[in-house]
Amino acid sequence: MQEKHDEPLKLEILFTDMNAEMTQFLTTCAHKFQEEVLEVMKDQFIERFERRIADFFKDEFDKRFGSQWHCLCGQFAASVTHESRTLVHFEMQFSPQEKRPHHHKSESVADRKRNAPPVRYWKVLLFKAG
């Protein structure tokens, strides 16, 4: 079964020591997040959005690769000890239309900008504690 991803998603891996299976799973999770969270909540401001991202990726990796995964999202500085071949630092970007794809024609551009989440991309660090 081929995955369907109509909306643009940019996922850039800034650094990783993960194997190909884990990095492919990361891509799958990013698309799943887009479909299950962003599409469902497209007309709503999502509170604690960075926390939502971190929880989502941690839970998905815990289920697939065992517990003890940690995920940081947003602006951060980190010094971590992790298991070998379990670290990835990446950036996710969704187009503004994906966050609020259906707007009312009467809604002004200023209103759309004011109602949209304040950031357009998120930096994420995901790793398994070592």
Q: What is the pLDDT of residues 75-122, one digit of tens each?
A: 889 999 999 999 999 999 876 544 444 445 566 766 665 665 544 678
pLDDT at 130: 78
What is 9-128's CATH topology?
Protein Inhibitor Of Neuronal Nitric Oxide Synthase (3.30.740)
Dihedral pair phi/psi, residue 127, rounded to 5°: -160, 160
Q: What tens digit of pLDDT does each residue of 11-56 get?
A: 999 999 999 999 999 999 999 998 887 766 665 666 678 888 999 9
Within 10 Å of residue 51's Cβ, how many Cβ atoms? 13
Tokens 């081929």 -> residue:
2
25: left (phi over 0), alpha (psi -120 to 50) or beta: alpha
> Is the pTM above the cut of 0.85?
no
pLDDT at 4: 46
> What kind and span of H or E run contains 53?
helix 49-65
